[in-house]
Amino acid sequence: MRPPRQIRRTGGVVLLALLLTLALMAVALMGAVEVWSVERQRETEAELLYVGDQYRLAIEHYYYATPGAGKTLPASIDDLVEDQRFPVPVRHLRRAYVDPVTGEPFELLRAGEQISGVVSSSTKSTIKRSGFSRADSVFEGFETYNQWRFLFSPPVPGKAGRKLPSPSSRQPAVIGGKS
């Protein structure tokens, strides 16, 4: 009778060790999922910064490509994708990008009937709060994605000491603000 009892005790210890191992693996997996989630959000933020800059640059290009002295901003995203003001349509933007954070179209920032920029509708907290590029430096300290406003602000004509930049020498102008 002694051998069967010994087997049962050993089987219980093995079962307890297996349960402990599974619990430790579950905790490690939860940590890995958290790290993956943060990394995914960082990638989404980088994509938002890239796409927002593409919109800002496209609006700026549209503005400076306007023939004549009366420069205008686009009235729609379609104007950026295919500008019909020229004999051969000009593409200022490859395609109408969606907001990487929400998966929905960007909210448009307007100056009257014209588009001056785009912004995400997400109120989710950002990870990145500093270390932005010069064009995005206004985003320093902002806590939510809907505070990252990708704007092109046309130069003010006639302002003392300021002249209209040439298309090859200008730097993107950015204005950001808290919602």
Residue 164 pLDDT exceeds 50: no
- Weakest-pLDDT range from 5-14, 28-37, 91-100: 5-14
3-class SS of residue 134: coil
Q: Domain locations in the chain? A: 2-151
The DSSP symbol for 145 reads G
- Asked if 120 and 49 touch (Cβ cutoff 8 Å), the reply is no
Poorest-confidence range of 23-37, 49-63, 72-86?
Answer: 23-37
Q: Which long-range contacts (CB under 8 A, 24 or more apart) does 103-111 make?
A: 106/55, 107/146, 108/77, 109/149, 109/151, 111/73
What percentage of the chain carries pLDDT values higher than 90?
59
